[in-house]
Structure 1
Amino acid sequence: MSDSIENESALDNEKHVAASTTVRKKIVYIWDMDETLILLKSLLDGTYAVAFSGVKNVQRGIDIGKMWEKYILDVCDDYFFYEQIEQYNEPVIDALSSYDDGVDLSDYDFSQDSIGSPKDDINKRKLAYRHRIIAQKYKQGLHSILDQKKIELLNDLYEMTDTYTDGWLSSARTLLQRCSGDRQLTSVDQSEFECINILVTAGSLVPSLVKCLLFRLDSLITCENIYSAWDVGKLRCFSWIKERYGGSDVQFCVIGDGWEECEAAEFLKWPFVKIEPKPDGFHRFPGLTRETVGHYLSVVYGRSSDAENGEDEVITSASTSTQMKLL
């Protein structure tokens, strides 16, 4: 069963909750990608397997990572104009939307328009056209660009990776669903909350969008909610998100593995949940739950119905201190 049927899309979920007259507050979950929602870099360099002290086959993990890397690059180049626009990274997909004149692009020849450095309005419009097509393809899903054989190969790779990582991908995705307010997966009364998932990644924008598609995250994070901190840094992205959703009725929570998102969260006085892929990590997948995330929120914002009771874990600090373009 496809994700679009199995799960309510992130955009539909936001519209559903926003339409409710009983919504009183928002919870904005800000996720890192690599080594948080997915594993890739630690597979490629072998650090994920090495941490298991011989239990995991290191070369097997590296081979899996290389297969993902190839798929990501192939989809970027073949369907998302990456060879043409790699050097023109933007922090969000609609950054240049004001330059898009809305012309019909069905017969537009993207291979012949000679896009250059987008410093003038003409080149910014050419880049905006590509961003429009990229957003459309993201919203339509992988089935709109890949044939069934490639989809099956990707499904096999996903299951292989999930097995190798003891369910990291599927459990992270399930938590993302729960945090999005999926009514089939949570017992919390979501009428009180509008739950929003946002991705802020250190990688560049196009590969990050492709990763979301390949790792089955596109039904839970809209393309407009994916931020690339490659050029601007995570604090700048977080500040934009605060401006976009800020208010007295909004709670923010950052989930990631890196020092940059930790420092940015601490600067803004937002709770930060540190992910540690090592087998003895305090928070990792499988393991991290929505209830635990709720406890971090309650440290900063006070107890609410979203921070459910029932966990023995006591969290003494909401912001733990922390010790490639494609990745």
Structure 2
Amino acid sequence: MNNQITNVHIWDMDETLILLKSLLNGTYAEVFNGLKDAQKSVEIGEMWEKYILQISDDFFFYEQIENCNKPFLEALSKYDDGRDLSDYDFNQDGFSPPHDDINKRKLAYRHRVIANKYKQGLHNIFEQEMMGLLDALYKMTDEYTDRWLSSARALLEQCLVGNEDPTVGNTPAGGIVNSNDAGFQHINVLVTSGSLIPSLVKCLLFRLDGLISYENVYSSWDVGKLQCFQWIQERFNNRNVRFCAIGDGWEECEAAQAMKWPFIKIDLRPSSSHRFPGLTLKTVGFYFSIVYGSPDSENDEE
């Protein structure tokens, strides 16, 4: 009998794994009571916003499919007939909002291309000069936010390998790790209230794509977080799966309560331990144990 336990970490994006809205509207700087340059915050946020929209439109069909948001990329996979798209002209195929099967197939084609681009990463889209600009913006943002971005990434890595030191295990692209020595599997899932395509682009820009696979990115824009949480439970559920939601908003809090999952509320304030840097794998494990108990004791009982 397989007693391996799967921990599914369900992350919010904005003001949790990344900072964007709070940079744009100044709320991040406000919690520092004048110690942070509020104007610089807005400027950094606007630069990210420009790149997100530009890349979404230029490389991920967002201008064409903005009004056709789906909750995940494979939502229309049954309409994809597997056609070779190497010489397909996406600008001349007559795509319009998918009210019929023909246009759903055309949208599914676009989703397939987006998935492949996500898997390949930004370095397969941009030359070295552009990657340098993006790297510089990431570094500047990380410094301004006292390592919020890199600390969040580090915790995602630790969650995947189930160890405070992510170098102990190897973290493959895809966001799923088997820690056979500990009898655990760890999965990172993203549920964002933003629309799907810009959210995938954010994952790429903020260096999350190697830690969260495209299959594990959900947009609750149209369906709500509770529906996404229910889909995730159906997808991963068996007796040895444990779920924990992490975010800053009321919607994911209420959805987690409805699912009877532990919920970790992210707090921007510098005095909080539930922020980045600050939140640790030990704390995440504590929230798991409150709801599910100690996995060691469960195994002992068996």
Which residue does the alignment assign to 1:265? Answer: 256
1:190, distance to aligned residue in structure 2 (A) = 2.7
1:287 to 256, 278, 283: 278
1:305, distance to aligned residue in structure 2 (A) = 5.5
Distance 1:223 1:245 in 2: 16
1:102, distance to aligned residue in structure 2 (A) = 0.6
> Counterpart amino acid of 1:193?
F
Kept after mapping to 1: 8 A contact 2:3/2:240: no
Distance 2:231 2:246 in 1: 17
Question: Which aligned segments of 4 or more residues in structure 1 are displaced greater than 3 angstroms?
Answer: 186-189
1:282, distance to aligned residue in structure 2 (A) = 4.1
TM value normalised by structure 2: 0.92
1:251 is paired with a residue of what secondary structure?
Answer: strand
The question of 1:190 aligning with 2:179 is answered yes
Structure 2 unmatched runs, 5+ = 170-177, 298-302
Which residue does the alignment assign to 1:211? Answer: 202
Count the aligned residue pairs: 286
2:218 to 220, 224, 227: 227
- Give CA deviations for 1:202-238 in whole Å, capped at 9, x if unaligned: 0000000000000000000000000000000000000
Query: CA distance change for structure 1 residues 305 and 212 in 2, over 3 Å: closer, same or farther?
Result: farther
Q: What pairs with 1:121-200 in structure 2 (closer than 5 Å)?
A: 121-181=101-161, 185=166, 190-191=179-180, 192-200=183-191
TM value normalised by structure 1: 0.85
Q: Percent identity?
A: 63
2:155 is paired with a residue of what secondary structure?
Answer: helix
Distance 2:69 2:97 in 1: 11
1:148, distance to aligned residue in structure 2 (A) = 0.8
1:278, distance to aligned residue in structure 2 (A) = 1.8
The question of 1:254 aligning with 2:245 is answered yes
Kept after mapping to 2: 8 A contact 1:23/1:194: no
1:281, distance to aligned residue in structure 2 (A) = 2.8
Which residue does the alignment assign to 2:78? Answer: 98
> Counterpart amino acid of 2:120?
Q
Which residue does the alignment assign to 2:16? Answer: 36
Distance 2:97 2:117 in 1: 24
Which residue does the alignment assign to 2:268? Answer: 277
2:96 to 82, 95, 116: 116
Q: What pairs with 1:236-247 in structure 2 (closer than 5 Å)?
A: 236-247=227-238
Distance 1:238 1:253 in 2: 10
Query: CA distance change for structure 1 residues 149 and 187 in 2, over 3 Å: closer, same or farther?
Result: closer
> Counterpart amino acid of 1:87?
N
> Counterpart amino acid of 1:94?
E
Distance 2:192 2:215 in 1: 13
Distance 1:96 1:173 in 2: 30
- Give CA deviations for 1:78-104 in whole Å, capped at 9, x if unaligned: 000000000000000000000011111
Task: Provide the aligned C-alpha RMSD in A.
Answer: 1.7
> Counterpart amino acid of 2:244?
C
1:89 to 69, 76, 85: 69
Kept after mapping to 2: 8 A contact 1:176/1:197: yes
Distance 1:43 1:179 in 2: 26
- Give CA deviations for 1:99-144 in whole Å, capped at 9, x if unaligned: 0111110100000112112010000000000000000000000011
> Counterpart amino acid of 1:71?
Y
- Give CA deviations for 1:241-292 in whole Å, capped at 9, x if unaligned: 0100112111000010000000000011100000011223341000000000
The question of 1:27 aligning with 2:16 is answered no
